[in-house]
Structure 1
């Protein structure tokens, strides 16, 4: 038995896929890394991380729905880690993009709202990120984009 055959036999007994590209998890990982790299590059000149962008965008979205936005709502909608949201919010407060105050209903929670500067800032960034999304996912036909969105949404709902 050749070295390659031995490695192939061991590999086949460990992995459930013949090659990495057959694994949906590995493909999702690769896709996410490529997409995040594009987003990160576009946000660098604005001195904001991808997580901070998502927090600002989620806050803007929730505010547009007349919600009294809390940190837990941001976590729930963004799926970001609690500590990452907390750290990012502190940074965004320091930059003057968000304010935190006592929540009107839940005294244990803090309300999060965009400042005037924060609204202006995120309103400038959203079209930039949406353009990246459009170009990135634009390699797919419209019906495939809809199908991908449906599949990803189902996974988010199921694994929530």
Structure 2
């Protein structure tokens, strides 16, 4: 249990904050030469993962899955669209809803950026050595179950509306 009376180096929340800020800085530095922000990379990654399943998510679904603010996703999606990396596609079931998809340029940009971020990721976790895999599993365990699989959350939300 974390004791709030201890110093910052004994506080899990503070350590997670510092770790998050350190990762964002390292990932941002790796992405800067590619002309991408970390948020843009996260949206490209989410879209890439969705496209593997033949899925084109809405901006709301991207925001939920990425733990991002809806307005930030909207602004970032517009920037990615202006750069020709993503495109809005109409939802066949609801013409008022737009879904997002990678363009060919977006897919190529993501693949290149993924290599760069993968290298940064390895450097970031290098101090853990062989414990890096266990660390990732621990992080996954800490996420609430509903945020682990956005499709499961979407199905749950549909059931509660019905």
TM-score scaled by length of structure 2: 0.82
Aligned to 1:67: 55
Q: Is 1:82 equivalent to 2:70 in the alignment? A: yes
Question: Given that residues 103 and 110 in structure 1 are in contact (C-alpha distance below 8 angstroms), is that contact kept between their aligned partners in structure 2?
Answer: yes
2:16 counterpart (24, 28, 36): 28
> Corresponding residue for 1:19?
7
1:159 and 1:104 map into 2 onto residues whose CA distance is: 26
Q: If you compute each CA radius of gyration, which structure gives the higher value, 1 or 2?
A: 1
Unaligned runs of 5+ in 1: 1-14
How far is 1:159 from its partner? Answer: 7.8
- The reply on whether 1:155 has 2:139 as its aligned counterpart is no
Secondary structure of 1:68's counterpart equals: coil
SS of corresponding position for 2:94: coil
Is residue 54 of structure 1 aligned with residue 69 of structure 2? no
Q: For the aligned residues, what is the CA RMSD?
A: 1.7
Distance 1:145 1:90 in 2: 35
Deviation at 1:50, TM superposition (A): 0.4
User: Where do 5+ consecutive residues of structure 2 fail to align?
Assistant: 148-162
Alignment of 1:133-144 (within 5 A): 133-142=121-130, 144=131
Alpha-carbon distance between aligned partners in 2 of 1:61 and 1:159, rounded to the nearest angstrom: 18
Aligned length: 145
1:115 pairs with one of 103, 107, 132: 103
